Structure 1
Amino acid sequence: MSTNKVIITCAITGGVHTPTMSAALPVTPAEIAQASIDAAHAGAAIIHLHARRPENGAPTGDPDVFAQFLPIIKQATDAVINLTTGGSPAMRVAERLAAARRFQPEMCSLNMGSMNFAFFPAARRITQWKHDWEEGHVTGSDDNVFRNSFRDIAHILETLGGAGVKFEHECYDVGHLYNLAHFLDRGLVRPPFFVQLVFGILGGIGADPDNLLFMKQTADRLFGKDTYQWSVLAAGRQQMPFVTQAALLGGNVRVGLEDSLFIERGRLAASNAEQVVKIRRILAELGLEPATPAEARAMLGLKGGDRVGF
């Protein structure tokens, strides 16, 4: 699907980075709400959300924590709210799915395959941790297997699909595209659908320009060019270069502190909104415009913010 409009997704906090890594990382419900509102006002049409324990910033799937910020964001913005079903690699599927089942948002993320998911090299840069849980969370990721079996994926699609939830299908490698094609053939995924191509995670496909072209060409071959919208995210220093390349190729983009803590080489981002402002400026230089939330809903065939459970 070709359009001059580019959907900007902002992933606010994630479940990988820790409070020690950046003071700008939102942790409390109030911080997550404000960061989301600021990102939406800066131009993000979709806000992708995880939750954290307010007392120490550890990832949590507790719906009661999500309930402390979802209504605030909805009241203050028209942005599409996209809840994680990934949570963190350490969570069981039931925990990852709990908030989405309760709140039935317009969108959820959905990881399209099992993989090694590691970020332990980040520990080399840190000598003192703010909270006890952080060091083990990071260094122990060399043993992470992020489970997303065919049964798990089918369960999530069947559980949420009946409520009209659509998905940000996160594909970390070429095989994940074939997994998505399998579920398309089974009728559990229906056009228009949204494919998020993910680059630069240790355990997934690398952030090389040739890989971006290959992933997009593979998706076109499997799905047909007019059945889906696609977007790109890249981890760490590759974030802005890679999403810019995606925009040049007709794709949508994702930024946010979940994916990178930096705004430029050697400088931490002050906020999620700063990253949104930067990619919006780049898009303008390329002659592209950010999609509004209403335009994003139309492009993705979403049910609308009036049909969610919060």
Structure 2
Amino acid sequence: MSRKVVITCAITGSIHTPSMSPYLPVTPDEIAEHAIEAAEAGAAILHLHARDPETGFPSPSPDVFGQFLPRIKQSTDAVVNISTGGGMSMTVNDRMQAALTAAPEMASLNMGSMNFGLFPAAERPRDWKYDWEKDFLESSKDFVFKNTFADIETLLTELGEKNGTRFEFECYDVGHLYNLAHFRDRGLVKGPIFLQFVLGVLGGIGADPENLMHLKSTADRLFGEDYQFSVLGAGRHQMPLAAMSASLGGNVRVGLEDNLYMRKGELAKTNAEQVRKVREILEGLSLEIATPDEARSLLNLKGGDQVAF
């Protein structure tokens, strides 16, 4: 039987630095253009971070988000998903400000504190465009990505209950699923739950097929039929794990936040290229691509007319 698969596209993120790819969107105009093209290619959900337009450094500023959010909304019907993951230099309070201001249909929510190692990328020889980049990457060797139970509860209540925003629950390891079940049991999380399994980040679960099977079987046990899942495979694992997710009944996430390449040695020039590539994989499996409104219905979202931008 055919079914609809939701494609999420993560446009820029805060992991890669501008020197890693000349195609990484940095300015509000670039982020808007990439997002609109990704939606036109078939992405139902756009996962968004912001960057300082002068330096490319990750930015939590609601003002910077405000320079591209209205344009995306005016040009596409895609679901806007604002990150609360932010970047290494940001406090938890910083990370939630844009979503609190914009009251989007969706926001990401990381389900546990963890080591988050970007430092191997600093060891590769390259011409650094900005002074901050190498130090930023190297500093992750002594960095803990903070998402305590108190942090998660604050986001669930301040952003979820008060603004009607629902979440892309990012789970980098099996324990994060149990953290989520804890909040579900307390009544702070209600279905349908949208899980984003994240595999291949140094500090989280490895990008092995067996690990994806373990994540899914654990989620089946904890959440039964009251959840949808998607898979984020970091770097070269992006497309293989997307294909595996689709074959297991899941959804997919692509984008330059997660992977800068189209194939070995070839940088992706746009996010839309990756959306089109994963779409070919899905359609090759006789699967249909969900529209934004179908994603809204599947995930019980409040609608694009209920946001504050």
Q: After TM superposition, is the score higher than 0.5?
A: yes
| Equivalence for 1:204 | 204
Measured against aligned partners, the alpha-carbon deviations of 1:165-197 in whole angstroms (never above 9, x if no partner) come to 000000000000000000000111001110000
Q: Identity, % of aligned pairs? A: 63
Distance 1:126 1:119 in 2: 15
| Equivalence for 1:176 | 176
TM-score (ref. length: structure 2): 0.98
| Equivalence for 2:124 | 125
The answer (yes or no) to whether the contact 1:90–1:144 under 8 Å persists in 2 is no
Distance 1:306 1:35 in 2: 22
Q: 1:201 to 1:4 in 2, by over 3 A?
A: same
Q: CA deviation at 1:127?
A: 3.1
The answer (yes or no) to whether the contact 1:13–1:32 under 8 Å persists in 2 is yes
Deviates more, 1:86-95 or 1:74-83: 86-95
Deviates more, 1:300-309 or 1:159-168: 159-168
| Equivalence for 1:167 | 167
- Matching residue's letter, 1:157: L
Q: CA deviation at 1:98?
A: 0.5
- Matching residue's letter, 1:183: F
Distance 1:135 1:273 in 2: 28
- Matching residue's letter, 2:72: I
Distance 2:70 2:54 in 1: 21
Distance 1:54 1:197 in 2: 30
The answer (yes or no) to whether the contact 1:27–1:53 under 8 Å persists in 2 is yes
Q: CA deviation at 1:126?
A: 2.9
Q: CA deviation at 1:3?
A: 6.7
Measured against aligned partners, the alpha-carbon deviations of 1:31-68 in whole angstroms (never above 9, x if no partner) come to 00000000000000000000000001000100000000
Distance 1:127 1:278 in 2: 28
The answer (yes or no) to whether the contact 2:2–2:286 under 8 Å persists in 1 is no
| Equivalence for 2:265 | 266
**How do 1:1-310 and structure 2 match up within 5 A?**
4-161=3-160, 162-224=162-224, 226-310=225-309
Q: CA deviation at 1:124?
A: 2.1
What SS class does the counterpart of residue 25 from structure 1 fall into?
coil
- Matching residue's letter, 2:139: G
Structure 2 residue ranges without an equivalent (≥5):
none
The answer (yes or no) to whether the contact 2:2–2:288 under 8 Å persists in 1 is no
The answer (yes or no) to whether the contact 2:260–2:267 under 8 Å persists in 1 is yes
The answer (yes or no) to whether the contact 1:193–1:229 under 8 Å persists in 2 is yes
The answer (yes or no) to whether the contact 1:89–1:117 under 8 Å persists in 2 is no
Distance 1:184 1:89 in 2: 28
Number of residue-to-residue matches in the alignment: 308
What SS class does the counterpart of residue 56 from structure 1 fall into?
coil
Distance 2:2 2:74 in 1: 29
What SS class does the counterpart of residue 163 from structure 2 fall into?
coil
Distance 1:126 1:153 in 2: 38
- Matching residue's letter, 2:168: E
What SS class does the counterpart of residue 81 from structure 2 fall into?
strand
Distance 2:282 2:252 in 1: 10
Q: CA deviation at 1:208?
A: 0.4
Q: CA deviation at 1:125?
A: 2.0
What SS class does the counterpart of residue 36 from structure 1 fall into?
helix
**What is the root-mean-square deviation of aligned Cα atoms in Å?**
0.9
The answer (yes or no) to whether the contact 1:90–1:146 under 8 Å persists in 2 is no
Q: CA deviation at 1:28?
A: 0.1
Measured against aligned partners, the alpha-carbon deviations of 1:261-297 in whole angstroms (never above 9, x if no partner) come to 0011121111100000000001010000110000000
Q: CA deviation at 1:90?
A: 2.5
- Matching residue's letter, 1:65: V
TM-score (ref. length: structure 1): 0.98
The answer (yes or no) to whether the contact 2:2–2:287 under 8 Å persists in 1 is no
The answer (yes or no) to whether the contact 1:12–1:32 under 8 Å persists in 2 is yes
Distance 1:287 1:229 in 2: 19
Distance 1:250 1:231 in 2: 9
Following TM superposition, where does structure 1 have runs of at least 4 consecutive aligned residues deviating by more than 6 angstroms?
none
Distance 2:265 2:114 in 1: 29
Distance 2:125 2:148 in 1: 34
Measured against aligned partners, the alpha-carbon deviations of 1:239-275 in whole angstroms (never above 9, x if no partner) come to 1101110001000000000000001112111110000
What SS class does the counterpart of residue 139 from structure 1 fall into?
helix
